[in-house]
A and B are shown apart, each in its own frame.
Chain A
Amino acid sequence: MTATRIALGHLNDIPRQGARIVQTPTGEIAIFRTLDDQIFALNNQCPHKGGPLAQGIVHGTQVTCPLHGWVINLDSGDAAAPDEGCVNRYAVDNEGGMLYLRTTDLFPHDRDGGLAG
């Protein structure tokens, strides 16, 4: 991987309280936009049974998984108590509305799990 960042598009391509996915060779990354325009990027795989988090309902800085209702904190990637588990996070730069995924983060994983592949 040569580039350190990849342009994803504009903030407004993602609905508020919603998410879109980014396809990568090793799996999907979900890019979330909260009500107050914060952007978060997580593996699109719930720590419970792999549910697609991007399809969940986004509230505050959390998303509720569509399959069995676990709540995942977008800022830490951790499941909300009492559930236990976590999802890999990635950094996204927001420059005047243009979003860039830091691809250097794509492979070194800060936690177990990693991308699907």
Chain B
Amino acid sequence: MTMRLVVIGNGMAGIRTVEELLNMSPDAYDITVFGNELQPNYNRILLSPVLSAEMPFEETILNSFDWYQQHNITLHAGHAVTHIDRIKRFVSTDDGLQTPYDRLLIATGSNPFMPPIPGIDLPGVIGYRSIADVQTMLAAAQTGGHAVVIGGGLLGLEAAYGLSLRGMQVTVVHLSNWLIERQLDKTGGDMLRKALIKRGLTFLMAHQTEAILGTGHVTGLRFKNGTEIAASLVVVAAGIRPNIGLAKSAGIYCERGIVVNDTLQTFDPRIYAVGECVQHRHQTYGLVAPLFEQAKVAANHLAQYGRMRYEGSQTATKLKVTGIDLFSAGDFHVTDDDEELLLQDATRGVYKKLVLRHNKLRGAILYGDTIDGPWYFQLLRDGTDISDMREHLLFGQAHLGDAGRSGAASIMNLPDSAEICGCNGIKKGHIIKTILEKKLFTLEEVRAHTKASSSCGSCTGLVEAILASTVGGDYSTQPSKKPLCPCTELSHDEVRSAITQLSLHSIPQLMQALEWKTTDGCAKCRPALNYYLLAAWPDSYQDDSRSRFINERVHANIQKDGTYSVVPRIWGGVTSAKELRSIADVADKYAVPTIKITGGQRIDLLGVAKTDLPAMWHDLADAGFVSGHAYGKALRTVKTCVGSEWCRFGTQDSTALGIRLEKMTWGSWTPHKFKLAVSGCPRNCAEATIKDFGIVCVDSGYEIHVGGNGGIKVRVTDFLCKVGTEEEVIEYCGAFMQMYREEAHYLERSAPWIERVGLSHVKQHIVDDPNNRSALFARFLQSQANAQTDPWQEHANGKEAFEYKPLATIEG
């Protein structure tokens, strides 16, 4: 018989768990859901836009009644479970429903905290938690009058703002001296209060309510200082308490919340719990992102995969009052160990505060300009060492050497028609509409549904900002650890270390040992695994051409019409009349439609039919050419300038050095493409300071620059060190490439890699540690020993010939 799962709580965490479970194992359970509310599962986060009339309630529904039916889920909406019998394993309600379970999931959320003051039970005094509360507020607003909100935190301010838009006179009563004191410091809180006063709210700061007045219905409030105020509606937003009464009465171990372990199991192994009612590692949560992480883990265990653990979350918050940008993450109460970075610009209405401890970000408050919120949050969660970017940190990610495409000041000021994703032509309005229509929460979902940010990725920050301001709050349900792809829960780093620790030597062996969820992976993980294996075992790994993208499989770049382009290697950009003549002959022989000088100082033959490739390579090989790897996650070009041979300013022979470097490094596979350049003097005509590894020759030697990037996000290199001889340049180059090959994630270029690990880390292992440098260099040379066979020649001689020929031809 199918196992029976009963879910108590038809809210965001409970139903998210059910959804995850249905994805993983659709037929594992007969599912019954009890929900205290009359509505199907809706997006509680969006209650404030409903209150402020910015959105109809229907648009907040996440799972319609039809959805439950389609998935054979029995829903008892409007029925509260009042009893759990853990011995006989059933739950029951006061109106006589009884349902047995094999597994029980408790997701009862939390209740608004109602302080024990006289009058708190009067009609007209409510919390702010459910659509029923919103309906009460709307009914009160119909007759106008005066509303008082107790509590100037996020929820209280959203309620106050909504009620004032609905035409009520609203006063916010707050205990502390400034607003949102748990997420904001005094300066930020004061700026916020001024902005809200402009919008028509009234504040009573440092006021404590002594009693709520009225007989039969609320009429006003009295404060500790003796003053009184009239009110026809009182909304209490003084915090939340996990809703654990039911669990407690069933004898399930609770402290502040229902105590669960890393698999979201309670002390009764048949009973799981997720959401705000839960206490995990001493923490309770009040935002959806961590709850969704919990849901994923709980579902994984309910489906009996038993693989995942929930290890706690860090959270960030955002206020959802239209036109006010406020973001806060982490801890910002400064102690003696901490440093503060501050930016305050009253005219622009911008305030930023970053709290650092030991060169790591601990907390961030952004007011007025929150575009960098997601970035700071990422630095905070990753524990990134920020010493190398310290001077720019406060100004945001756009200032990290970026002259590229990002850097729009405030996303919300952009019109709906603004193009956000240049690759796919996606406009802001379309993204917002899709987020709302398809109920999207995560960047991944937005990518899948709109294609925005799914190509080159340069607009990711903008898309995240739109997501944040559209669904509000902590939209980002990105787990703290990022799995390599949907086939696994393991991260890039975990996979890499498993390869060496478990001595994994092939993709099938790896997938078995690491319990891949798919039989043979996907287009995302297979190329990464192939690279990681190759990097780990350069001498013994058998390359898997089936796990390579087409360009690397047939050693040419696929074009939009299915033809290919052919780019022969032109060492250091130096060629000869003879070479040019042979290229011209080849172009004639195969009727190449376009010949183009590339941005990498070589020649591109475009529009070649796949069937012609081997013969063309044969002819090119005869003329002395090898593949230029213009298609590979590999060494691409080494750009050079004319240097001291000819140039009146040249200090060294940059051309010859470039050729020497290219002869050493060609044929190597790297996590992403890798480019070198050598300029003969600081005029830098070879653009060495935007290359992965760039040399600027000076009179006394060679400056080594690393981690540069043209392309999507321009990044100027970091200066690594200066050396005196070509021999040293050669060694540093090999060592740097090897370190990048061993440490970077697949498809991570050297620029983002350096930003992730920090320049100091690279310096420490390459500049400060000569032994390590020469060990890295030796490993690089060792892996090159097998790498420098020309793939064009091999394929011209018949390797993988099937790639280029049709299987059969059917004549007409």
Most interface-central of B526, B562, B809 (chain A CB within 10 A): B562
When each residue 18-54 of chain A gets 1 if its CB lies under 8 Å from chain B and 0 otherwise, what string results? Answer: 1011111110100100011000000000000111100
Q: CA–CA, A62 to B332, complex, Å?
A: 48
**A23-B455 CB under 8 A given contacts A59-B520, A59-B523:** no
**Stretch binding the partner chain, chosen from B128-136, B165-173, B545-553:** B545-553
Q: CA–CA, A21 to B562, complex, Å?
A: 13
Q: Are A8 and B807 within 8 A (Cβ)? A: yes
Q: Are B523 and A69 within 8 A (Cβ)? A: yes
Q: CA–CA, A68 to B802, complex, Å?
A: 24
**A60-B523 CB under 8 A given contacts A13-B807, A22-B806, A66-B549:** no
CB-CB < 8 A to B562: which residues of A? Answer: 50-52, 55
Kindly state whether residue A98 has any CB partner on chain B within 8 Å: no
Measured between C-beta atoms, what is the minimum distance from A37 to chain B in Å? Answer: 12
Kindly state whether residue A76 has any CB partner on chain B within 8 Å: no
| A15, A23, A59: the one within 8 Å of B802 (CB) | A15
Total inter-chain residue pairs, C-beta < 8 Å: 93
Chain A residue nearest in CB terms to B810: A24
Kindly state whether residue A64 has any CB partner on chain B within 8 Å: yes
Measured between C-beta atoms, what is the minimum distance from A39 to chain B in Å? Answer: 11
Q: CA–CA, A21 to B392, complex, Å?
A: 54
Q: Are A60 and B560 within 8 A (Cβ)? A: no
Most interface-central of B519, B807, B809 (chain A CB within 10 A): B807
Kindly state whether residue B50 has any CB partner on chain A within 8 Å: no
CB-CB < 8 A to B811: which residues of A? Answer: 25
Chain B residue nearest in CB terms to A22: B808
Q: Are A58 and B806 within 8 A (Cβ)? A: no
Q: CA–CA, A18 to B547, complex, Å?
A: 10
| B518, B547, B550, B554: the one within 8 Å of A60 (CB) | B518
CB-CB < 8 A to B518: which residues of A? Answer: 59-60
Q: Are B807 and A22 within 8 A (Cβ)? A: yes
**A17-B546 CB under 8 A given contacts A31-B807, A59-B523:** yes
Kindly state whether residue A9 has any CB partner on chain B within 8 Å: yes
Kindly state whether residue A96 has any CB partner on chain B within 8 Å: no
Residues of B453-493 whose CB lies within 8 A of A = 454-455
Chain A residue nearest in CB terms to B800: A15
Measured between C-beta atoms, what is the minimum distance from B803 to chain A in Å? Answer: 9
**A57-B802 CB under 8 A given contacts A8-B807, A66-B550:** no
How many chain B residues sit at the interface, stated as a range, is 20 to 34
Residues of A66-96 whose CB lies within 8 A of B = 66-69, 71, 82
Residues of A2-22 whose CB lies within 8 A of B = 6-9, 13-18, 20-22
| A23, A25, A51, A57: the one within 8 Å of B546 (CB) | A57
CB-CB < 8 A to A67: which residues of B? Answer: 558, 560
Q: Are B808 and A9 within 8 A (Cβ)? A: yes
**A20-B802 CB under 8 A given contacts A9-B808, A55-B558, A59-B526:** yes
Q: CA–CA, A106 to B520, complex, Å?
A: 31
**A57-B808 CB under 8 A given contacts A15-B802, A20-B802, A67-B558:** no
How many chain A residues sit at the interface, stated as a range, is 35 or more
CB-CB < 8 A to B526: which residues of A? Answer: 57, 59
Kindly state whether residue B623 has any CB partner on chain A within 8 Å: no
Q: Are B520 and A20 within 8 A (Cβ)? A: no
Q: Are B560 and A49 within 8 A (Cβ)? A: yes
Q: Are A8 and B808 within 8 A (Cβ)? A: yes
Measured between C-beta atoms, what is the minimum distance from B547 to chain A in Å? Answer: 7
**A17-B520 CB under 8 A given contacts A31-B807, A57-B526:** yes
Q: CA–CA, A67 to B809, complex, Å?
A: 25
Kindly state whether residue B89 has any CB partner on chain A within 8 Å: no
Chain A residue nearest in CB terms to B454: A69
Residues of B423-462 whose CB lies within 8 A of A = 438, 448-449, 454-455
Measured between C-beta atoms, what is the minimum distance from A89 to chain B in Å? Answer: 17
CB-CB < 8 A to A24: which residues of B? Answer: 810, 812
CB-CB < 8 A to B546: which residues of A? Answer: 15-18, 57-58
Q: CA–CA, A56 to B524, complex, Å?
A: 12
CB-CB < 8 A to A66: which residues of B? Answer: 549-550, 558
Q: Are A23 and B519 within 8 A (Cβ)? A: no
CB-CB < 8 A to A7: which residues of B? Answer: 808
CB-CB < 8 A to B805: which residues of A? Answer: 20
Kindly state whether residue B522 has any CB partner on chain A within 8 Å: yes
Measured between C-beta atoms, what is the minimum distance from B751 to chain A in Å? Answer: 23
Chain A residue nearest in CB terms to B562: A52
Kindly state whether residue B607 has any CB partner on chain A within 8 Å: no
Measured between C-beta atoms, what is the minimum distance from B526 to chain A in Å? Answer: 6
Chain A residue nearest in CB terms to B812: A25
When each residue 504-544 of chain B gets 1 if its CB lies under 8 Å from chain A and 0 otherwise, what string results? Answer: 00000000000000111111001100000000000000000
CB-CB < 8 A to A58: which residues of B? Answer: 546
Q: Are A59 and B810 within 8 A (Cβ)? A: no
| A23, A35, A55, A62: the one within 8 Å of B550 (CB) | A55
Residues of chain A whose beta carbon lies under 8 Å from any beta carbon of chain B: 6-9, 13-18, 20-26, 28, 31, 35-36, 49-52, 55-60, 62, 64, 66-69, 71, 82, 101, 103, 106
**30 intermolecular pairs with C-beta atoms under 8 Å apart:** A8-B808, A13-B802, A13-B807, A14-B807, A17-B546, A18-B546, A20-B805, A22-B808, A24-B812, A26-B812, A35-B520, A49-B560, A55-B550, A56-B523, A57-B522, A57-B527, A57-B546, A57-B547, A57-B550, A58-B546, A59-B518, A59-B523, A60-B518, A60-B522, A62-B522, A67-B560, A68-B455, A71-B523, A82-B448, A103-B810
- Please give 12 more A-B residue pairs, beta carbons under 8 A apart, in addition to A6-B810, A23-B810: A6-B808, A8-B807, A9-B808, A14-B807, A20-B807, A23-B806, A36-B519, A55-B558, A56-B523, A57-B526, A59-B521, A69-B523
For the complex of A and B, list the 5 residue pairs with the smallest distance between their C-beta atoms, beginning with the closest: A25-B812, A64-B523, A20-B807, A17-B546, A57-B523
